[in-house]
Structure 1
Amino acid sequence: MSAPLIANRIAKQLKWEEIDPAAVTTLISIARNEDLEGWGLAEPPEQTGDITSRLLPKGSEQATARLIARNDLVSCGLPIVQPILDAYGAGASFKPALTDGKECSRGTQLGTIEGPARVILEAERVLLNFLQRLSGVATLTQLYVKALGSSPTRLLDTRKTTPGYRVLEKYAVACGGGFNHRMGLFDRVMLKDNHLAAAGATGGKKLAELVNSYRGSYPEMIIELEVDSIDQILPALDAGIENILLDNFSLSELAEAVSLIANKAATEASGGITLEDLPALGQVGVDFISTGATVHKAQWMDIGLDWN
């Protein structure tokens, strides 16, 4: 299979419909319970629930509120708003003003919530936490993608995600224009340096034999190999490797590696990559650049819930 075909098999973008609703419900339930019931504390609180909102005066039962972007951002997480509201009680509804993945300037209305005031007040912090976090990942991802300019090189995420929030954070990367690397240990063979060391196959014939053994066990799966030196590339190509991750290579080393691989496998650059590196890296000719920074360096966006 040619490198472009392999690259297209790798380059996936998670869609909201591909996320298990039960997983989202579980995360919402944890967030709700830690806010209302002290989930996670060794001793439960003496009182539970929103002790502030329950004493609101008569006449404040129904309300309308707007979600507003308070800084420029890429929207992400809007489909989770209604399930969050539903977790706090019946009657509150969310009407989005746009879809995920949209560039929004400061002051943009993301949507409107109508319903019982107490439900909206109880859910406010939790729904903002999800939106602000996911929009932050989408916004930073888009910044990285734009830094690649007109380069055909595509940006990949990694498994460096918040435990339990992987599908949501990878979805946010996709909303920002990035692509998703493997979802977990289950969907791609990826031989990293520690695997090679454990197998005693860091180079030469033993490396080729190791790759071939995995090809025999997983004939339909993409096999990816992490290399940290040029001399590991030819044995991997001889074994028919599909994707080569070039770890911590300099620009000149990347150029040499891409020339050596010559479209016999897809190529991926990784390791300590910064936003400032991307314009130059995009000109080297690798198929992918992978980084966990779009998740672990993302700042929360400022989104407010403004009462009408």
Structure 2
Amino acid sequence: MITQEQFKKEIDIIIKNAIREDVGDGDHSSLACIPGYATGKAKLLVKDNGIVAGVNFACQVFQYVDPNLVIEKFINDGEQIVNGDIVLYVSGNSQSILKAERLVLNAMQRMSAIATKTHEFAKLLRGTNTKILDTRKTTPGIRALEKWAVKIGGGENHRFALYDMVMLKDNHIDFAGGITMAIDKTKAYLKENNLDLKIIVEARDLQEIEEILSNTGVHRILIDNFNYEDTRKAVQMIGDKCQTESSGGITLETAKKYADCGVDFISSGALTHSVYNLDLSLKAV
């Protein structure tokens, strides 16, 4: 997994690039009609129900745009919100508040949607030994935000990217000439390059589970697109030899049934690729 330092760097890049993209050579709407010395105050208003995420990110954005902006927080990341709640107040230079507004709202609306959906999965899995994971099916350029939101919602992060874990999926296996060849080549590569990365291997059927288990050094088996019965059989075959993860179109309707099969993890791309933004707004007061 990536380090805290790497994650912080990703967030810094997102903020810098997003402000560059949105502001360009100036916020001419504000520059045209609001004096540079004007000050004001705005509230971040909730117009929906769910789990809020992105509050700390918003504070970072405001501070990046103008370190003199003052923020009063009333609701923290991960807390339940309802229509009418006020998450925070921001006060200071009016032009600065408006410059930060759209990035704050865009990020928080999406992050809150992801946190809300993740919370629904996590709630379903309570009482089981199964944890919900995200995937790499994220919006290009803001993966760190979306994975942050998953954590806020009560989920766990899978690998961050291609560099912090090895996942041998069907195409890797087919291109490499088979499961055992893919695993052997991977272990040799990691040793050769002095890399300490966990190996996950995808299985498409019970026969492939058997072949994976005949190899050493596998951290987790990805039980992909199995039905409930075969998932239970796979979990029994694997035992405590390595971790287990179910994936493949798992929804809120099916997650608990897969958890009841005994898998350690369920991964769902729907946490990040199939959400509708929560309705938030920033209003002058």
TM-score (norm 2): 0.89
Provide closer, same or farther for how the CA distance between residues 286 and 23 of structure 1 changes in structure 2, counting only shifts above 3 A. Answer: closer
Assess if the C-alpha contact under 8 Å between 2:71 and 2:90 holds in 1: yes
1:18 Cα offset (Å): 4.7
**Unpaired stretches in structure 1, ≥5 consecutive residues:** 1-11, 38-47, 202-206
Distance 1:154 1:125 in 2: 33
* Residue of structure 2 in register with 1:232 after alignment: 208
Residue type at the aligned position of 1:30: N
* Residue of structure 2 in register with 1:211 after alignment: 183
1:90 Cα offset (Å): 5.0
Establish whether residue 292 from structure 1 lines up as the match of residue 269 from structure 2: yes
Assess if the C-alpha contact under 8 Å between 2:36 and 2:95 holds in 1: no
Residue type at the aligned position of 1:291: S
The equivalences for 1:230-269 within 5 A come to 230-240=206-216, 241-269=218-246
Provide closer, same or farther for how the CA distance between residues 282 and 102 of structure 1 changes in structure 2, counting only shifts above 3 A. Answer: same
Report runs of 4+ in structure 1 exceeding 6 Å deviation: 57-60
Picking from 3, 24, 31, the partner of 2:18 is 31
Deviates further, 174-183 or 139-148: 139-148
Assess if the C-alpha contact under 8 Å between 1:209 and 1:239 holds in 2: no
The equivalences for 1:190-201 within 5 A come to 190-201=167-178
1:73 Cα offset (Å): 2.0
Assess if the C-alpha contact under 8 Å between 1:94 and 1:112 holds in 2: yes
* Residue of structure 1 in register with 2:27 after alignment: 50
Structure 1 vs Structure 2 CA RMSD: 2.4
State the aligned residue count.
280
Q: Percent identity?
A: 35
Residue type at the aligned position of 1:107: G
TM-score (norm 1): 0.83
Cα deviation 1:121-177 (Å, max 9, x = unaligned): 222122111111111111111112112232111111111111111111111111111
The residue matched to 2:254 in structure 1 has which SS? Answer: helix
Picking from 141, 144, 151, the partner of 1:174 is 151
Deviates further, 160-169 or 74-83: 74-83
Cα deviation 1:213-243 (Å, max 9, x = unaligned): 4334436432111010100112211212221
The equivalences for 1:88-107 within 5 A come to 88-89=65-66, 91-107=68-84
* Residue of structure 2 in register with 1:9 after alignment: none
Assess if the C-alpha contact under 8 Å between 2:36 and 2:93 holds in 1: no
Deviates further, 225-234 or 48-57: 48-57
* Residue of structure 2 in register with 1:5 after alignment: none
